[in-house]
A and B are shown apart, each in its own frame.
Chain A
Amino acid sequence: MYPQLELNRRQLLSRGSLGFGGLALSSMFSESFGSDVPVPHFAPRAKSVVFLFMEGGVSQVDSYDYKPMLSQHDGKDPHQAIGKLEKTQFANIGKVMKSPWNFKQWGESGIWASDLFPQINRQMDELCIVRSMTSKFPEHTSANYLLHSGHGLQGRPSMGAWTTYGLGSFNRDLPGYVVLNGGQIPSGGLDNFSNGFLPASYQGSLLHAIGTPLSNISPNEKSGRLQQLKRQLAMRLNQSGLQLAGGADEMESAIRNAELAARMQLAVPELIDLTKETAATHELYGMHAKNKHTQTYGKACLIARRLVERGVRFIEVLIPMVNGYQRWDAHGNIKQNHTSNAVAVDQPIAALLKDLRQRGMLDETLVVWSGEFGRTPFAQGGAGRDHNEHGFSLWMAGGGIKGGMTYGATDPWGYKAVENKLEIHDLHATILHLLGIDHTRLTYRFSGRDIRLTDVYGRVVEELFV
């Protein structure tokens, strides 16, 4: 009658088979229940997504959106130079401010970009730069929720949750949606990775690049033998409990979960064990870099690649704690802020692109680099920039995306998107499309509505595809 309401056991197993509530693992197991594993709507171009979240908001006019007008009008009153200005978060509008970085053309494609990310930019011909992205909110949390879940408030499933709900995972021993914690949990907290109203199994699993990798993955027992003894005893006693329950489905699948849990306990340590990676790989990702944040982020990016190799669907990499909670949120001194953040991420991201390429994985892996919004072309106070949701840049690479191109444009100030303006919903529709999902057909009925990631919006931006 109403499929989402009356999931029978098989559906439950196929939909919510693995999962770690809170921080948790989710995955599908195709072996046991082959026919129930969700299939894409059409042939996917990408199998996995690596989302490099530049939390706080990278300035577009200091990175990928070159605006000579800012130099020409540097120091002028933006109300006069630019005209009517939108309200900003800090309501402290300074002068028009030129970029402290130099711009030049990169790669064969000759795309203009600053020298903020020299190593990434050396692979400009892999990148598709979107210069006309917009958000709906100039506040971090609302914008983070929108970017992750298509809605500005807490409670909706994150795009990674939708992805695993729609596609399952290729790996049954690892979560389908992993959030690699480089140190900085975004504004809005873990709800950015929430399953919302989807079953808990689709929640993003927080995997620490440093420290205990995953919640409840490390056994309390020191000896493997003791673990085994307990597992054997539990198996026997569970069998008799199952008999008392007359073989009830719920109890039976819980028993199967125990077996899976045991395998996960092995898979996770193997995943984060980087000793088998070559010295060259360690070097490539910056794991011996001088800057410790480069090391941390390098490790996270390398684990991201290993997750892709293991068939994990959606991987988000969080930035390290470079300047406390400041993130890319350069309200004060943008030169100092963006430089220190860029040092942390530039080499590792470049390494990830290179590594995926040389291993032949980039074409099936969609890499998305974005903040929750951009920054104002005029200063906040003296040397910072305030939040700007009206136009900012992101880039994508691999996974069916055409490299070496730009799409859309902002006005001559880099303030508002004016050409081929895109919304976050369009980004979501596009990502899902590359994964083989029609965003209008991926729905879940929650209290009276068939809800989707893109709500009633979203356009697949096919112009970006190979």
Chain B
Amino acid sequence: MKSSAIFSFSCICLFAFAPAIYANDRLEFFETRIRPTLASHCLECHGPQKAESDLRLDHISFLTAEGSYGPVLVPGQPKQSSLYVSLTHANKDLMMPLEREKLAERVIADFEKWIVDGAFWPNEPIPAAVTEKFDLATRKNRLPWIWQTPEAQTIPKLENTRWPRGGIDHFVLARLESAGLTPAPDAAPETWFRRVHFAITGLPPQPEQVQEFLADTSDQNREAVVDRLLKSPHFGERWARHWMDLVRYAESRGHESDFAIANAWHYRDYLIRALNEDVPFDQFVIEHIAGDLLPSPRINQESGFNESILATAWPVFGEEVHSPVDIRQDECDRIDNKIDVFSKTFLGLTVACARCHDHKFDAISQQDYYSLAGFFLSSHFRQVRFQTSLRNGRIADELESLYQDTQQQLIQWIADRFRPHLSQAAALYRPSTDPQHVQYAAAEVILDFSDPNHTWQTSGNAFGQSARQVGDLIIPNDSSTDLQVRLLGAAERDPIWNSLKLSPGNEADSGSLNAVGRAAGLVSTPTFVLNDGRVHVFMQGETQVYAAVDSHLMITGPLHKALVKTLKAPQPKWLTLDLRGYQGHRLHLEFGPVGDAPLSVFQVVQGPTSPRPTSPRTIEPGKSDSVSKLENEQLLGDAVDALEKRNIRSWQHAAAISWLCKNAAQIGVDSSFAAELKKIVANYQSRRQELAAQIQTDSLTAIALMDGSGVNERILKRGKHQTPGEVARRQLPGAFPFEAADLGRGSGRLQLAHQLIDPDNPLTARVIVNRIWHHLLGRGIVASVDNFGWLGSRPTHPELLDDLAHQFVHQDHWSIKTMIKRIVLSRTFAMSSRPDDLAAEKQDPNNLFVHRMNVRRLESEAIRDNLLAVSGRLDLTLYGKPVPVHLTEFVIGRGRPEKSGPLDGEGRRSIYTSVRRNFLPTMMLTFDMPIPFSTVGRRNVTNVPAQTLAMMNDKLVYQQANVWAEELLSEFSDASAAEKIRQMYWQAFGRAVMDEELDAALVAIESFAELHEVSGDDLKVWTDLCHTMFRLNEFIYLR
């Protein structure tokens, strides 16, 4: 004991001796010049948290250990210390700080001096490592409940058993009782009535309806009211807008010129119909993720079109940049937005936080992020002729089977006719040269229709339902008997579909993309990576090709114009697309029609040089005759066999059959051959004509996804596309309780969709039920409706949420209307919002326990709709093209729409006003309509003077006051002023006017009349009164 103390003491002495001042200098130098630099430039990656390359720089012991680049620090020897060398950037493989500017020379000189002087480091303990390695189990345990499937809950026991009407009330009251609180009294019937109207339809009740209801406020009648509202077509309009906030619905792409997203509005109408029909939410989710892939899509009952496919438009409502210089970065940003929207909307998770690193708090790894990215990379944008695609698809099927049947008939017939004449034929046969077959010198085959195992995609009908194979018969489309056999497989445009047209008013895509033009038919290659940059297409006819490099859509120059190009080849020919600016980028090609021009696509390859036909193989007459006759007979026999068995795979066999058909007469085939052939062909053509007559030629187009070939993204280290890492297989985040599904050849979205709606999925049902609660009560059970994770809010009523989610899935069959009905008929929903219980206000100022209802400000759309409804101007027409936004001098900027819409938006509900991303209506923004940049499940609710000014001075409000006054004066021309005022209160506030209000209004009328020097029933007077009513708080607040 004693001796060690002496030892320590002597150590200190040694240090403290003469070099003490020196040590202090070195300490100061270290603390002011070295440690701050290490802390600000190095420790982020080489510190206690991260220790990249197993290196930490926060203690001398780590520095002097041997590193993978040699010793990190050799005191006295800067040039042997990789720390110093890396700072000097002398070795280009080891330049620190990584991907940042070199440190200032002065700083580097400090390090040199420090090392030369012995690398002084004060004596201090080694800081503990902060190991925050991503461990799924640990992360899930942080917030276990969100990863557990919601279960039915036991209804809690209560003291007050008379208050609850249903399960919801039990849970709410149990929470209140445990906090020693009591629920607020019931709201006045008219308050409940108004509340439920805005909640369900977003429109005010009619005065007669209020009065009728006040005569019978029984529970049965309340239920009847709710049923009536849920059946109203305006329910869908109200709730579609809620959903549009989630998918950042917009009809333009924002950015510099705010280019339009053509035909986006069909998605909005889809939502309204789906909600009105109460499409079960599981089906709704499937349609959103994979509506284009359903074997039996949901059919519109009225018009017979494909509803399901319309739901897939949502991924492309994001912002799009034209001419991004870093086109791949731009893609990464777009996909990031899609992942953000997807994960928040359907799962209440913030997966996008894991773009650059594992999620900081939740059970979501960086790999999970890139696993989702793959689904989007494998799914392409298209315009689809949704109104006719199903019916025309059936016609296309029939055309295909007609062709196959006819071909089968012809084949059998040809085989029977030719087989007896093969010997005769062999004597005459000269194997032809191969005019088309090529060597792919240094080329990589992207798509070869002669290979029956090729993968391709088509959309629309113009290219039929399948590609033509080698050996398929080309049935003449006139009365000729020139029967040909295909030597090359092809995707081929069938002219029968040239009758397809776009319905009037269909919008064209912005820029030169022309997806609308490809809606009639397109041929798509699998996704591939450009090597040399030149892509060669063997084709005949004319086509417009879209090269979807990095899924870039907004093509309008100055950059990327090369992505759309027209190719023309009167004869089969190799044509080259020069995409050398995009080497190493990912893309697929889409070939679309041009006018009525024919088109056959045979092969697509890439490489530096265009493939060339091999030199024609000729057989010298005489020399090989004697040998070749036997060979020929063998060849012709094989060809006929193969034909009969429908497995011609080689061009030699195909050529042989072609030759036989052409030379039928010479080889002694029956002279009736031609006549019979004509008959079969004529029959074929007439049946095709019958089918052609059934084609629905006119259609609008809508946005939809098209499945591509399955592509997995790589984990991009630190989120940068320049540093790709391991492949991340497409799947839901690993925290979900699902095995990896077999994704097949396509994107795998259908499998993804099924996992989302799996009853074991812990989040899908909880998230939507919580959203419904949020919209009805003003705050979700989980307040952060888009984020159930660590940084979100904890549920105020977890058992209630789980019980509702369980009922939603297992009892309600995912019916949104049933859930809404259950909530609005609860006693909880019927409570008064008056903060009369002062003790409760003190204990629960934010009303987290739901001891009363919340006072709600109406959303921007509901405020405007309310204006129109009360004034009588509201046009309740459903659906259709958006009404252009009314342009004022405050709705300005580049890409401003050319024409302004009318001030009153044609009287239509706000959901029909055009959503031009950069030109949102001022009044809507004033009342917190969100900018559509990403999911906003919970809008801001501000309470600011600008709103008062809007209701005071906005031209629309003034205009509608005038409309309302005219309506009042004409409809109630005989009524007294007091009667009119009573009516106004019923109309605007859904309640009877109180005496003092009536008095005040009557006095005001006199003053207005006096001021205007007119009589008390003058329009001006009443306009002023109506205008004042609109600016009352009660007009925009729900009690």
Chain A interface residues (CB < 8 Å from chain B) = 1-2, 5-6, 8-9, 12-13, 16-26, 87-92, 137-142, 152-155, 181, 185-191, 194, 196-201, 203, 206, 208, 211-212, 215-220, 223, 225-226, 229-230, 232-234, 236-238, 240-242, 244-251, 253-255, 257-258, 260-261, 264-265, 325, 420-421, 445, 447-450
Min Cβ gap B510→A in Å is 15
Determine if B15 is an interface residue (Cβ-Cβ < 8 Å): no
Determine if B302 is an interface residue (Cβ-Cβ < 8 Å): no
Across the interface, which residues of A come within 8 angstroms of B996, CB to CB? 236, 240
Q: Which of B18-26, B707-715, B789-797, B804-812 forms part of the interface with chain A?
A: B789-797
Interface residues of B in 552-572 (CB under 8 A from A): 558-559
Of all chain B residues, the one with the shortest Cβ separation from A144 is: B256
| A255 near B890: Cβ-Cβ < 8 Å | no
Across the interface, which residues of B come within 8 angstroms of A196, CB to CB? 931, 933
- On whether A448 and B931 interact (CB within 8 A), knowing A25-B946, A154-B917, A248-B855, the answer reads no
- On whether A240 and B945 interact (CB within 8 A), knowing A189-B893, A245-B1039, the answer reads no
- On whether A248 and B952 interact (CB within 8 A), knowing A22-B890, A199-B942, A200-B928, the answer reads no
Q: Known pairs A230-B1024, A264-B945. 4 more at Cβ < 8 A?
A: A19-B942, A190-B893, A200-B928, A226-B1008
Q: Which of B126-134, B642-650, B953-961, B966-974 forms part of the interface with chain A?
A: B953-961
22 A–B contacts from the bound complex (CB under 8 Å) = A5-B783, A21-B924, A22-B920, A91-B558, A141-B256, A155-B933, A188-B254, A188-B255, A212-B889, A216-B922, A229-B1004, A230-B1024, A237-B1029, A238-B1032, A246-B832, A250-B943, A257-B944, A261-B945, A447-B935, A448-B361, A448-B784, A450-B791
Q: Which of B392-400, B656-664, B833-841 forms part of the interface with chain A?
A: B833-841
Whole-angstrom CA separation of A245 from B991 in the bound complex: 13
Across the interface, which residues of A come within 8 angstroms of B158, CB to CB? none
Whole-angstrom CA separation of A247 from B837 in the bound complex: 12
Whole-angstrom CA separation of A245 from B949 in the bound complex: 22
Determine if B1031 is an interface residue (Cβ-Cβ < 8 Å): yes
- On whether A89 and B256 interact (CB within 8 A), knowing A21-B946, A25-B946, A248-B855, the answer reads no
Determine if B773 is an interface residue (Cβ-Cβ < 8 Å): no
Q: Which of B66-74, B319-327, B613-621 forms part of the interface with chain A?
A: B319-327
Min Cβ gap A157→B in Å is 11
Across the interface, which residues of A come within 8 angstroms of B895, CB to CB? 189
Whole-angstrom CA separation of A186 from B1034 in the bound complex: 38
- On whether A229 and B344 interact (CB within 8 A), knowing A191-B931, A200-B926, A218-B953, the answer reads no
Interface residues of B in 293-339 (CB under 8 A from A): 319, 321, 323-326, 333, 337
Whole-angstrom CA separation of A436 from B256 in the bound complex: 33
Q: Which of A6, A87, A188, A250 interacts with B1037 by CB under 8 Å?
A: A250
Q: Which of B104, B792, B935, B942 interacts with A21 by CB under 8 Å?
A: B942
Interface residues of B in 419-470 (CB under 8 A from A): none
Q: Which of B833, B889, B1025 interacts with A245 by CB under 8 Å?
A: B833
A-B residue pairs, 9 tightest by C-beta: A21-B926, A20-B946, A155-B933, A246-B834, A189-B893, A22-B922, A189-B918, A22-B925, A19-B944
| A236 near B944: Cβ-Cβ < 8 Å | no
Across the interface, which residues of B come within 8 angstroms of A245, CB to CB? 833-834, 855, 1034, 1037, 1039
Most buried by B among A141, A197, A201, A233: A233
Across the interface, which residues of A come within 8 angstroms of B927, CB to CB? 21
Of all chain A residues, the one with the shortest Cβ separation from B919 is: A189
- On whether A89 and B559 interact (CB within 8 A), knowing A154-B254, A258-B948, the answer reads yes
Determine if B1028 is an interface residue (Cβ-Cβ < 8 Å): yes
| B325 near A87: Cβ-Cβ < 8 Å | yes
Whole-angstrom CA separation of A185 from B896 in the bound complex: 11
| B889 near A139: Cβ-Cβ < 8 Å | no
| B559 near A90: Cβ-Cβ < 8 Å | yes
Across the interface, which residues of B come within 8 angstroms of A154, CB to CB? 254-255, 319, 917, 931, 933
Determine if B492 is an interface residue (Cβ-Cβ < 8 Å): no
Min Cβ gap A381→B in Å is 11
- On whether A200 and B835 interact (CB within 8 A), knowing A139-B325, A226-B1008, A230-B1028, the answer reads no
| B922 near A142: Cβ-Cβ < 8 Å | no
Q: Which of A19, A194, A215 interacts with B890 by CB under 8 Å?
A: A215
Whole-angstrom CA separation of A185 from B794 in the bound complex: 42
| B1027 near A230: Cβ-Cβ < 8 Å | yes
Determine if B107 is an interface residue (Cβ-Cβ < 8 Å): no
Whole-angstrom CA separation of A95 from B623 in the bound complex: 66
Min Cβ gap A45→B in Å is 23
- On whether A251 and B944 interact (CB within 8 A), knowing A217-B953, A233-B1028, the answer reads no
Across the interface, which residues of A come within 8 angstroms of B1028, CB to CB? 230, 233-234, 237
- On whether A247 and B835 interact (CB within 8 A), knowing A188-B256, A200-B944, the answer reads yes
Whole-angstrom CA separation of A255 from B1033 in the bound complex: 7
Min Cβ gap A13→B in Å is 8
Determine if B750 is an interface residue (Cβ-Cβ < 8 Å): no
Determine if B1001 is an interface residue (Cβ-Cβ < 8 Å): yes
Determine if B692 is an interface residue (Cβ-Cβ < 8 Å): no
Interface residues of B in 354-404 (CB under 8 A from A): 361-362
| B1032 near A17: Cβ-Cβ < 8 Å | no
| B559 near A5: Cβ-Cβ < 8 Å | no
Whole-angstrom CA separation of A22 from B950 in the bound complex: 10
Determine if B258 is an interface residue (Cβ-Cβ < 8 Å): yes
Whole-angstrom CA separation of A203 from B926 in the bound complex: 10
Across the interface, which residues of A come within 8 angstroms of B920, CB to CB? 22
Whole-angstrom CA separation of A89 from B558 in the bound complex: 7
Whole-angstrom CA separation of A450 from B361 in the bound complex: 12
Whole-angstrom CA separation of A25 from B946 in the bound complex: 6
| A6 near B848: Cβ-Cβ < 8 Å | yes
| B835 near A249: Cβ-Cβ < 8 Å | yes
Whole-angstrom CA separation of A23 from B890 in the bound complex: 7
Q: Which of A6, A21, A194, A265 interacts with B922 by CB under 8 Å?
A: A21
Most buried by A among B989, B1000, B1033, B1037: B1033
Determine if B91 is an interface residue (Cβ-Cβ < 8 Å): no
Of all chain A residues, the one with the shortest Cβ separation from B557 is: A90
| B919 near A448: Cβ-Cβ < 8 Å | no
Across the interface, which residues of B come within 8 angstroms of A248, CB to CB? 833-835, 855, 1037, 1039
Determine if B994 is an interface residue (Cβ-Cβ < 8 Å): yes
Of all chain A residues, the one with the shortest Cβ separation from B836 is: A246
| B1011 near A219: Cβ-Cβ < 8 Å | no
- On whether A189 and B942 interact (CB within 8 A), knowing A141-B321, A250-B857, A254-B1033, the answer reads no
Whole-angstrom CA separation of A188 from B835 in the bound complex: 44
Determine if B153 is an interface residue (Cβ-Cβ < 8 Å): no
Whole-angstrom CA separation of A189 from B256 in the bound complex: 7
Q: Which of A2, A137, A194, A216 interacts with B952 by CB under 8 Å?
A: A216
Most buried by B among A26, A196, A244: A244
Whole-angstrom CA separation of A303 from B362 in the bound complex: 49
Min Cβ gap A90→B in Å is 5
| B1024 near A261: Cβ-Cβ < 8 Å | no
| B784 near A236: Cβ-Cβ < 8 Å | no
Min Cβ gap B559→A in Å is 6
| A21 near B256: Cβ-Cβ < 8 Å | no
Whole-angstrom CA separation of A154 from B926 in the bound complex: 18
Min Cβ gap A261→B in Å is 4
Across the interface, which residues of B come within 8 angstroms of A13, CB to CB? 943
| A229 near B890: Cβ-Cβ < 8 Å | no
| A260 near B255: Cβ-Cβ < 8 Å | no
| B952 near A261: Cβ-Cβ < 8 Å | yes
Min Cβ gap A230→B in Å is 5
Whole-angstrom CA separation of A206 from B890 in the bound complex: 7
Most buried by A among B104, B833, B942, B954: B942
| A240 near B997: Cβ-Cβ < 8 Å | yes
| A155 near B101: Cβ-Cβ < 8 Å | no
Interface residues as binary, B797-828 with A (CB distance below 8 Å gives 1, 0 otherwise): 00000000000000000000000000000000
Min Cβ gap A86→B in Å is 8
Of all chain A residues, the one with the shortest Cβ separation from B946 is: A20
| B931 near A194: Cβ-Cβ < 8 Å | yes
Min Cβ gap A69→B in Å is 22
